[in-house]
Amino acid sequence: MTNPSSNTPPEPKINPLTRLMRWIRRPSTIVFGATSLTICGVGYVGSQLWLYQNLPSLIETELGKILQREVRVGAVESLSLTAIHIGPTSIPPTPTDSDTVSLESIQVNWDSLPLITGQPLPIKVTLVGLDASVDEAEEGKWVNFELPEEESELPVSLDIDIHLRDSKIAILPYGETTPLIVQGGGKVNLLAKERRPQRLKYDLAADIATGKVRLNGETMLETGKTKALAIIQKLPVPIIASLLPDSSIQVKQGQLNANLNIQLP
């Protein structure tokens, strides 16, 4: 006589995806997931609000310490996990220093993934509408600024690209009444490894009066070693003479055209 239990068909195997969907549909899973998402959402929104409200003042304080000047940082206009956009920012004049700087906006983008493989953190900074005024306080002294003697170590290595868009700088030599206007843009790259600045690369172009200047090269910051190429077209010589310190040379007219290979030291 045949045993009836031997004819019972085996239970079908449950597909892993089906098992996962059943687990997701469980009330306890739904409650736990909703609670976790709510906590994360509240934390993210809270951190965003805190940064919107406090980040400009933090930047103002730290830059003010470094520059020993008042810094007015604009409001945070947008913020994400990889970018921040800051509104109009300025460094106003003081009773003892008439130099000024203003920016229409500052855009900063970064990518944290290279840090995982030990590479420098890439940061792109775009300065839009830079408008600066620099006056020579006395012959040979342009900027009243001294770096702090104590070097602060960076928490990570950095690879910073600084892009200048629609920049204008008014330069007023000592004893002159009409400033020299420099308009242009370009890119500067700062590489800081082992927590210290090491290399500065630059590719800048500027219109100066009726002339044009293009500077491309790199400088090692620790040694000052520089290799660069300067292309000068139709630059008025009187302008160059006015910028030279302790110069008794007076040039009324003339133009300079040159391709200069610069190597220091």
Q: Over the stretch 62-110, which tens digit does the pLDDT of each residue have?
A: 778 777 888 899 988 888 888 889 999 999 998 888 899 999 999 989 8
The amino acid at residue 195 is R
Contacts of 231 (CB under 8 A, 6+ apart): 212, 213, 214, 215, 258, 259, 260
221 assigned to some structural domain:
yes
The amino acid at residue 183 is Q
| Token duo for residue 35 | 């609670």
pLDDT at 61 over 80: yes
Query: Mean pLDDT over residues 29-58, rounded?
Result: 57
How far is 231 from 133, CA to CA, in rounded Å? Answer: 24
Q: Over the stretch 122-147, which tens digit does the pLDDT of each residue have?
A: 889 999 999 999 888 776 666 666 65
pLDDT for res 44 = 47
Host domain of residue 117:
111-143+156-265
Q: Residue 35 — very low, low, confident or very high, per pLDDT cuts 50/70/90?
A: low
12 assigned to some structural domain:
no
Least confident interval from 44-48, 106-110, 173-177 = 44-48
Burial 25-55 (b: 16+ CB within 10 A, else e): eeeeeeeeeeeeeeeeeeeeeeeeeeeeeeb
45 assigned to some structural domain:
no
30 assigned to some structural domain:
no
Q: Over the stretch 186-228, which tens digit does the pLDDT of each residue have?
A: 999 988 876 566 889 999 999 988 899 999 999 998 888 999 9
How far is 241 from 138, CA to CA, in rounded Å? Answer: 16
CA atoms within 13 A on the CB side of 161: 13
pLDDT at 29 over 50: no
Query: Mean pLDDT over residues 247-259, rounded?
Result: 81
265 assigned to some structural domain:
yes
DSSP label at residue 14: P
252 assigned to some structural domain:
yes
CA 56 to chain centre: 15
DSSP label at residue 7: G
| Token duo for residue 38 | 């709510």
pLDDT at 39 over 80: no
Q: How wide is the angle at C-alpha 265 spanned by C-alphas 261 and 188, nearest 5°?
A: 60
Nearest to 180 by CA among 130, 126, 135: 135
38 assigned to some structural domain:
no
46 assigned to some structural domain:
no
Q: Model pTM?
A: 0.73
pLDDT at 253 over 90: no
CA distances from 181 to 15, 178, 251 (A): 73, 9, 19
pLDDT at 230 over 90: yes
pLDDT at 1 over 70: no
pLDDT over 90, % of the chain: 29
Instruction: Tell me the β-bridge partners of 134.
Output: 171
The amino acid at residue 76 is V
Hey, which of 41-50, 114-123, 151-160 has the most confident mean pLDDT?
114-123
Rounded to the nearest 10 degrees, the angle between the axes of helix 27-67 and helix 16-25 is 80
pLDDT for res 31 = 47
pLDDT for res 130 = 94
Number of domains forming the structure of the chain: 1
The mean predicted confidence, pLDDT, of the chain is 78
Q: Between 102 and 150, whose confidence is greater?
A: 102
Hey, which of 28-42, 52-66, 132-146, 168-182 has the most confident mean pLDDT?
168-182
pLDDT for res 127 = 93
Judged by DSSP in three states, 204 sits in strand
